[in-house]
Chain A
Amino acid sequence: MNEDYIRNLIKNHKRLDNRKLDEHRPIKIEYGISSKSAEGSSRVRIGNTEVVCGVKFDVGEPFPDKPDEGTIMVNVELLPLSSPEFESGPPRVDSIELARVVDRGIRESKAIDFKKLCIKAGEKVWLVFIDIYPINDNGNLFDAASLAALAALKDTKYPKYDEKAEKIIYEERTKNPLQLEKHPLAVTVNKVNGNFLLDPTDEEENVIDSRLTIAILEDNTLSALQKGGDEALTPEDIDKMIEMAQKAAKTLRGKI
């Protein structure tokens, strides 16, 4: 509806809410929002965008090729609650893509040492389910989901495992935190009319030509990349986008 107006603004380095192109909206993180039910949980607000995340443990058999490793499973459910457009139009983001980008950011960075999820090699390992739900979609679910996953993992403590009865006693949570070796954070850089911008609102997402989601670790190395949108990016674009994301990741990291 305001597409042309927004495109023109961005051309002049301006935005509907007066933010700078490289400025995120205010970020608020809460921990333990479902502490009775989930082993770890969080709520992340970026402006009016709100995402919640919960972590649940289960015990299962390891993969035959990795007998001493547990694993993680990231799932994103896009809820019709979160946006009036959910039922009427094509989705701006795809839940599977979103989940896989968060998953790769954690998995490939070895943020969780899967060997530490082993209970008994070849028989029993911990499975860590990370479930992410947008509550209010006001744009930039990628960054919000990644931040929520990281915050929930930081909040996570193992439940008690009864070796003899071979079952988890969920009511008894141990004091053992899930150890995070690294802290991957995703920042999505969006390209509109040759300009780059961060943290788009849903209205701005409608005018984006292309985007690059970049998962970044504390030492500035990258642990996942995902290009989206219809337009191609030049290598120079990508370099600039990474630089912009690295800078933003530093600021975001301060919020956790």
Chain B
Amino acid sequence: MGLLVSEKDIVIPGQIIADGMDYLPAMNTYRGENNIISTRVGLIRVVGRSIKVIPLSGRYIPKAGDTVIGRITAMSTASWFVDIGYASEAGISLKDATSEFIERGADLSQYFDFDELVVAKITNVTKTRLIDLTVKGPGLRKLVGGRIVKITSTKVPRVIGKQGSMISVIKNATNTRIIVGQNGWVWISGESPEEIQRAADAIQMIEREAHTEGLTDKVEKFLGGKKNDSNIQEEN
């Protein structure tokens, strides 16, 4: 009776993870007849009496408060539409785009143009998944230059690491600027394409091996090995 799995165990859909009524089903689990069952491939988290599954795969599902990276796909007279890797596009209204006063009928492309990238925050998600974004706030802005690497959004916490430790390792070793959106879009910018590539390779390695132990060591080893091969220019 009780828990049939341990913290961080990997479970699959349909797997019975607890017997009896001692535990409460949380995210990605449900109560069966007299047990709790997982609905996703993921890692077990037990917090007190509640048991949940942190998924290891799947597309990004937007939620309010997430900082995401997106691409401007269209604009109307009063808003921009942004692809953030979800089934429907998100919107930025005039008041959430800039603190500048925008005149009626102004050409919105002077603020954000087609195909431009933004780092934005989700302010609201409705029940039917209409998504509002804002670009007003610390760190929120248009992204110029650089390249995007897309990873599974469920792996984002591993790429960032505890208090940003993992991403700092990569930034320092490759002398790049990196922004990780909760939606799994990662923006990498820097002086040297080789270094951007190494950062991208490191991020993709983390994505592949997110469920393994000793990831920080692996990443440091991966990045430490080749650092002097390339002619990086030290700046700032």
Contacts and interface: CB of A to CB of B under 8 A. Distances in A.
Q: Do chains A and B touch in the complex (CB under 8 A)?
A: yes
Interface of A: 1-5, 8-9, 12, 14, 16-18
Instruction: Count chain A CB atoms within 10 A of each CB in B115, B146, B193, B194 and give the residue with the most.
Output: B193
A169 B146 CA distance: 60
B193 A2 contact: no
B143 to A, nearest CB: 11
A12 B115 CA distance: 23
Given A1-B71, A4-B145, A17-B197, 8 more contacts: A1-B148, A3-B115, A5-B145, A5-B147, A8-B193, A9-B193, A14-B194, A18-B197
A151 B81 CA distance: 46
Contacts of A1: 71, 115, 117, 148
B148 A14 contact: no
A14 B71 contact: no
Contacts, number: 22
Contacts of A17: 197
Nearest to A12: B193
Contact of B197 (A3, A8, A16): A16
Contacts of B148: 1-2
Contacts of B200: 16
Contacts of B117: 1
Interface string B39-60: 0000000000000000000000
Contacts of A9: 193
Contact of A5 (B71, B146, B194): B146
Nearest to B200: A16
Contacts of A3: 115
21 contacts: A1-B71, A1-B115, A1-B117, A1-B148, A2-B147, A2-B148, A3-B115, A4-B145, A5-B145, A5-B146, A5-B147, A8-B193, A9-B193, A12-B193, A14-B193, A16-B147, A16-B197, A16-B200, A17-B197, A18-B194, A18-B197
A214 to B, nearest CB: 29
B66 to A, nearest CB: 20
A37 B136 CA distance: 60
